[in-house]
Structure 1
Amino acid sequence: MLKLIRTGTIAAMAVAVFISGGIVPAAYAAAPVVSFSFPASEPIKAPLQKPLWTASYDKNANNVVTDDGILFTFSGGKLIALDVNTGKKLFTYGNKLRPGAAYLKGVVYGVTESGQVYAVNVKTGKGLWQTSAGVSNDITPSIFSDTLYVTKDNAIIALEASTGKQRWKSIEENSDFSGGVARESDGIVYAIYMVQGALTTVQLDAIDKKTGKKLWEHIRQNAPLAVQNGLVYSVVDEYPFDDADPKRELNISVIDAKTGTIKEKQTYSWKLVSTPPYSRDSAGSVILDGKDLYLATDSAVLKYDIAAYEKDGKPLQKWTKYSAGSSLIGSMQAGRIFFANHSTGRITGMKLVGGQSISFLTDNQPVQTDIYGNGVYIGQSDGVFHGYNLQTTAPAFTVNTGSRNYGQTLRSGNTLIIQARDTGKLIAVPVPKALL
């Protein structure tokens, strides 16, 4: 009887295996719907740099260094002065301060939580003055020569840097937003506001530095590229281009600094070589070095003499642009111009002699790049920070920061200050001689 049961069981199992003429497969782990492998980039091989010192600071503070080796940061709402080379605390000032500082000629300036502006002597740590009333929306004031500028809603307020006394207040009625001072030149203050109409656009104001009287305004004009020989060069804020039309142009208004009269409009035209949809660099970008205007299109870099403009004139030089989807940024350094890719966060360069493209290879996404002298400093999203040689593009050192986000890298002398924002750490490292 036992044998019969076993035989029946085996027969039943056999029937279960053979269903609809097919064999039921054995159970396996689930297979992915999509599977794709891509090789990781080669790791950057550079010496690991040991920090000179580290210090904690209030996250997202706008710290500043002086040219004589003092770092100003914020901790617990207080202004802290540190020796750049040693990290030694030199003095502490105030409380309930906004985390931002500006420095000029032996004085550091900042704003309290209640909007009062203050000035501190950087050698003694003693307060020089503090405004009696809250006047500022700013975290960090702007300073040019002998004047401090702060904003209050749609007004710009000028303060005497030595005393804090208010010189004037200029209100821009066309704007619902706070503006900002872009530059000073020959007794004129140039301010930028956002104004609303059919489209939100930018407005350029010229203000008399002594009186605060508005001399003139121009809508759809960006901050000046330059002010030279009584003329203001400003790029026009273009309305969106027709996406189906490959024709593009960049216009620069040449404005009389005193009267605001547009003396000339320089138009630089080109045709896109790509097909729609066009990348964000299709509108073109420019930098100005003296009288040399560099215009980057989607496929080329063109050089013009801005002081000898001719309608439909040919460029003085032309280079192939290899960094697609990127725009000109910063200023020329060591015979190189630079581009920022707004999709990848990478900074690339081009040598003006020969037109060779240069890049600084990273092994993770770059999130902060700063260039000083012959050094290129890149903070990555994986918490690793690299220093590179600008001339050779070779990596020079590596620092482990543990941060995904960074403030602007600071440098004073041969000391570099990394601002690791996620961890609230300042990390000081020595700059190799080759990068100075």
Structure 2
Amino acid sequence: MVNSNKNDRTIKYKKKRIRRVIACITAGVLTIHGANILPTSYVSADKADVSIRTWYSGSTIKVPELKPAWTLRVDSGLVEQSQDTGVQAIAEEGKVFAFSGNKLIAVDAQTGKQLWSYGNGSHLNPIITYDQGIIYGMTTDKKPYALHAKTGKLKWQAQSSTYVDAGERTEALIPTSDTLYAINGSTTFAFDKSSGKLKWKADEGKAEGNGTAYLEEADGVVLRTFFVQGALTSIQLNAYDKKTGKELWEDFGQGDALKIQDGIVYSIDYFSPMLTDYQSLPDRKVIVNAFNLKTGVKKGSREYMWKLAGEPPYSYHSGDAYLAGDKLYIEQGDKVAVYNFNSYKAGEGPLRSLQRPDGDSLDMLGVVQERLLFKDATGNLVGVKLANGQRVGWYGDAPVAHIDVYGNEIYMAQRNGTLLGIHMMTSKPVFRVKTGADLHEATLKTNGMIIIQAEGRLMGVKVPATMQ
């Protein structure tokens, strides 16, 4: 018993010493931690296996802040990571047309004052377009309607529905001179523009609902493209008679029309490159085929050829093409080759080649203000001056949500709740607007005002003279 008590006292004494030692160590750790030195054996937090930072804030751009002339609550369907657009407003002739409480409303772009509303709050789909003083929209049961943009009065309501028994598909309303076309997946509907009467509908069954939003009308022919599945899936170009909707011809592998001229439609062949041994061979070419617009008879073919640098395996990507006027721009590895489209000669090289700003990791967008524009991997806008090939860029101070370009004016909506106005020619930011939103739709413009679409709100801002 004595030995046992002695052992107990010894154990208690040792425990007290241990507590004092731990207290001293803890105090020491706190002191050392304050000096930014921490023994690793005492760190209790888990270490991340991988840690990635995607954005460094950098410095804030200092520019004047503009206040919106007005702000209006509207419906929103913006969802992060969704490829679909939200509820889109449109701006035309000094007015803004949007949805609020599931009603279509029109407001004055200068003041934000509501001019009229249409609907009972339950029967309209958030799809609208504008043409020559008329707003065209779609009801929830897929029936098009037409309103006078000035008054909101109903011009006509179609009795025929564009409903198809399918999931989420491409939907679009496309007005032409005398016809309103409604696209629903792989089905095309043609309505009389003055009365709303259905003239015809046509479906590309092989596409199984997978149609694009491309539709073009020329010389009594309607062109559309679809994604058709088979041993290999590719795009397909179809031609329909404008009066009857009868299919005139189709060509598997052909894309949207590059150009329609003198009864000939020019289209890129996207299928043939799939059949080449692209990993082993550096040879690349863009094939542009020419077809009779009405019959589909092939009238000729053009081949724009080049070789990729480096060693195999090579990238499959064969180069996108963009036609601006008579100049054809083709991506060729880390360069963009420029050809005269109107004077093609077999085997002839390009007029010139431009260095792509950041190698081949860019999407070519088109030509604005004598600058060839690209979107980089982060969503930013970069370009090349056509005059001298010099690289240019337009940058904000936060990740980009949406960019819109109107001539000299670049509007960059950012994910830090602001929008920057940037001058195209100088590349300098001119002003900032606080939107308080993360996600944004397209910035609209009408009658000297920009309309910012920011997560359930519209903001009207007068464009300063310094942006001109």
TM-score by length of 1: 0.88
The two structures, once aligned, show a CA RMSD in angstroms of: 2.9
Q: How does 1:31-50 map to 2 (within 5 A)?
A: 40-50=57-67
Q: Secondary structure at the match of 1:225?
A: strand
Q: How does 1:249-398 map to 2 (within 5 A)?
A: 249-273=285-309, 282-324=317-359, 325-329=361-365, 331-341=366-376, 343-398=377-432
Shift of 1:115: 0.9
Closer, same or farther: CA 42–165 of 1 in aligned 2, 3 Å:
same
Structure 1 unpaired stretches of 5+: 18-24
Closer, same or farther: CA 314–29 of 1 in aligned 2, 3 Å:
same
- Please tell me whether the aligned partners of residues 155 and 178 of structure 1 are also in contact (alpha carbons under 8 angstroms): no
Q: For residue 151 of structure 1, what is the aligned residue in structure 2?
A: 183
Q: How does 1:7-156 map to 2 (within 5 A)?
A: 28-29=42-43, 40-59=57-76, 60-66=86-92, 68-95=93-120, 96-136=123-163, 140-152=172-184, 154-156=186-188
Q: For residue 22 of structure 1, what is the aligned residue in structure 2?
A: none
For residues 350-386 of structure 1, give each alpha carbon's deviation from its aligned partner in whole angstroms, at most 9, with x where no partner exists.
1100011111112222121110021011112222211
The 2-side partners of 1:364 and 1:304 are apart by: 37
Shift of 1:207: 1.4
Query: Partner amino acid for 2:130?
Result: Y
The 2-side partners of 1:11 and 1:30 are apart by: 24
- Please tell me whether the aligned partners of residues 172 and 183 of structure 2 are also in contact (alpha carbons under 8 angstroms): no
Closer, same or farther: CA 12–215 of 1 in aligned 2, 3 Å:
closer
The 1-side partners of 2:434 and 2:448 are apart by: 19
Q: Which of these residues, 396, 401, 425, is aligned with residue 457 of structure 2?
A: 425
Shift of 1:119: 0.3
Closer, same or farther: CA 41–191 of 1 in aligned 2, 3 Å:
same
The 2-side partners of 1:410 and 1:416 are apart by: 5
The 2-side partners of 1:200 and 1:305 are apart by: 31
- Please tell me whether the aligned partners of residues 394 and 422 of structure 2 are also in contact (alpha carbons under 8 angstroms): yes
Q: For residue 279 of structure 2, what is the aligned residue in structure 1?
A: 243
More helix by share: 2
Shift of 1:270: 2.0
Judge which range, 113-122 or 206-215, deviates more: 206-215
Query: Partner amino acid for 2:237?
Result: L
- Please tell me whether the aligned partners of residues 413 and 440 of structure 2 are also in contact (alpha carbons under 8 angstroms): yes
Shift of 1:288: 0.7
Query: Partner amino acid for 2:387?
Result: V
For residues 141-199 of structure 1, give each alpha carbon's deviation from its aligned partner in whole angstroms, at most 9, with x where no partner exists.
11122211113553211011111011222222322115344211222211111211112
Q: Secondary structure at the match of 1:192?
A: strand
Closer, same or farther: CA 236–10 of 1 in aligned 2, 3 Å:
closer
- Please tell me whether the aligned partners of residues 280 and 314 of structure 2 are also in contact (alpha carbons under 8 angstroms): no
Closer, same or farther: CA 167–271 of 1 in aligned 2, 3 Å:
same
- Please tell me whether the aligned partners of residues 154 and 173 of structure 1 are also in contact (alpha carbons under 8 angstroms): yes
Shift of 1:275: 5.6
For residues 85-140 of structure 1, give each alpha carbon's deviation from its aligned partner in whole angstroms, at most 9, with x where no partner exists.
11110000113200121100010000000111100001121101001232246754
Q: For residue 194 of structure 2, what is the aligned residue in structure 1?
A: 162
- Please tell me whether the aligned partners of residues 111 and 136 of structure 1 are also in contact (alpha carbons under 8 angstroms): no
Shift of 1:298: 2.3
Structure 2 unpaired stretches of 5+: 1-8, 23-38, 77-85, 165-169
- Please tell me whether the aligned partners of residues 387 and 398 of structure 1 are also in contact (alpha carbons under 8 angstroms): yes
Shift of 1:36: 8.9
Q: For residue 402 of structure 1, what is the aligned residue in structure 2?
A: 436
Shift of 1:245: 3.4
- Please tell me whether the aligned partners of residues 172 and 184 of structure 2 are also in contact (alpha carbons under 8 angstroms): no
The 1-side partners of 2:136 and 2:206 are apart by: 30
The 2-side partners of 1:378 and 1:135 are apart by: 36
The 2-side partners of 1:126 and 1:395 are apart by: 42
The 2-side partners of 1:78 and 1:10 are apart by: 76
The 1-side partners of 2:299 and 2:342 are apart by: 13
Give the fraction of aligned pairs with identical amino acids, expressed as a percent.
Answer: 35
The 1-side partners of 2:340 and 2:307 are apart by: 21
Query: Partner amino acid for 1:190?
Result: L
Closer, same or farther: CA 85–139 of 1 in aligned 2, 3 Å:
farther
Q: For residue 236 of structure 2, what is the aligned residue in structure 1?
A: 203
Judge which range, 210-219 or 132-141, deviates more: 132-141
Query: Partner amino acid for 1:389?
Result: H
Q: For residue 20 of structure 1, what is the aligned residue in structure 2?
A: none
Query: Partner amino acid for 1:234?
Result: S
Q: Secondary structure at the match of 2:257?
A: coil
